[in-house]
Every structure is written in structure tokens, then in C-alpha cells.
Amino acid sequence: LDDGAHNLTATATDTAGNTGAASAALTVTIDTGDPIAPTALDLDAGSDTGITTDDITSATTPTISGTAEAGSTVKLTSDIAGIVVATTTADGGGAWTVATDELDDGAHNLTATATDTAGNEGVDSTPLTVTIDTTAPTVTVDLLTTGDSTPSLSGTIDDAAATVLIT
């Protein structure tokens, strides 16, 4: 059968040649096509700690969303973990949202794969890079003794992107 919906009926004929009435139609849908790769992968704003939209977070179980074929099962995989870190089902419009299993610190390239209700698995999505950073920066200030009420301070910090606040 070709891809698409087909209404199938059955009849029975006995040895005397009598054929009974046709059964009620059974609709069978043939689907041999793979779903397209999920799209629009995004770290949800509620999981994007610090600067929003930078995809850097201290949340170790971040929520990711995207779109896929309606009703398909979506598997999210991390290249660092090398395993599926979340599974969900796309709704009737294709939208999906899922919290990941706990992720270790590092830059995770997350890809999503959709499997449709017929069992056809599509290709991986374009990766979304989410960086998990649970380590607070360390700052040191050099010892200074002065009679100046506005002294110049110096020190070091181990995170070039961090902000230093002197109070």
C-alpha cells in the first residue's frame, strides 16, 4: 500500500460459495516517511540564570523547548553525557517542552530527534549549546594600607566574564 489512509474491509466466503456481508471498514494509515528534524530548540527563560538569552545557566536540570512533528516522541541527547537526557511527546501543534536529567558542568551540545507514531525516526536537530556553570567565581583583593580615602584597588578573578562589586 502507498503512504496515506486506506479503508480496509473483509468478507468471508464459505465452501458453498456464500459470501457474507463486508465487515465495518478499518482505517489503516501507512506512514513510511521519516519526520523532519525538530526545530527551534531553546533554553527556556526560567532556566536561563544570569544574563537571559546567553544559554549559560547554573540550573543543572534546565528546561528545553522546541517544535517537532505533532504527536512524535522527542528524545534530547547531550554530547557530553553521550546519552538521552530527556524524552517527551510533541503536542497536537508540534510544540514540546521538557526538563533534562541532571547535567554536569560544561558546554552541552543538545540535539533532539523525533520518532513519529509509526516508529519512523528522523535525523538530529541542529545542536543547541547550553553551558552549565555551577561554580561561583573566586576574587582576591591585594592587601592595601593607605591614608588615601579613595585608594586604587587591585586583585584577581578567575572568571573574565564575572562582575566585581566593591562594597
- For 64-115, the pLDDT digits (tens) are 999 999 999 999 999 997 899 999 999 999 999 999 999 999 999 999 999 9
- For 18-69, the pLDDT digits (tens) are 999 999 999 998 888 889 999 999 999 999 998 888 999 999 999 999 999 9
122 CB neighbour count, 10 Å cutoff? 20
Burial of 2 (0-12, 13-18, 19+ CB in 10 A): exposed
